[in-house]
Amino acid sequence: MAGDETLFTEAGLRRQITFEGLDYAEFVTCMTEGHTVPTVMASRAEGESRGVAGTPTVFVNGEHVDATFEAIEAAVEQALTGANQ
C-alpha cells in the first residue's frame, strides 16, 4: 500500500489491519492501553546507546556491520569461523 494516502485515515488503517488478518478492535485496544510502551522505549534506548540512527541497522555478535549483503555475509562468516575454533 505504499503511496496510499488513505492509509493514514481511520478507514485506511482499519482496511490495512483487516487485510493483514488482525482484529481491529484488538489492535485499537493494544495501541490505547500502552502495555508495550516500556518494551518499545527500552528497545529504543538500547538502540540509541549503540549508535543506531535509523533502519536498517545491523549487528552481528554485538558489532555494528554495514547494511550491505557483502558486509553482513563477511561478518557472519567471521562469526561462524570464530565459533568453530
On the question of pLDDT at 1 being above 60, the answer is no
Query: What does pTM read for this prediction?
Result: 0.56
Give residue 3's pLDDT.
62
Which neighbouring-strand residues pair with 59? 64
Domain presence at residue 75: yes
Structural domain total, the chain: 1
Give residue 83's pLDDT.
74
Domain presence at residue 3: no
Domain presence at residue 15: no
Question: pLDDT tens digit string along 12-61?
Answer: 989 999 999 999 999 999 889 988 899 999 999 999 999 898 889 999 99
Domain presence at residue 63: yes
Domain presence at residue 12: no
On the question of pLDDT at 85 being above 80, the answer is no
Gap between the Cα atoms of 52 and 39, Å rounded: 17
Mean pLDDT of 68-75: 96
Domain presence at residue 19: no
Domain presence at residue 59: yes
Domain with 51, as residue range(s), is 37-83
Neighbours of 79 (CB within 10 A): 14
Domain presence at residue 43: yes
Q: Are 44 and 56 in contact (CB under 8 A)?
A: no
Give residue 8's pLDDT.
81
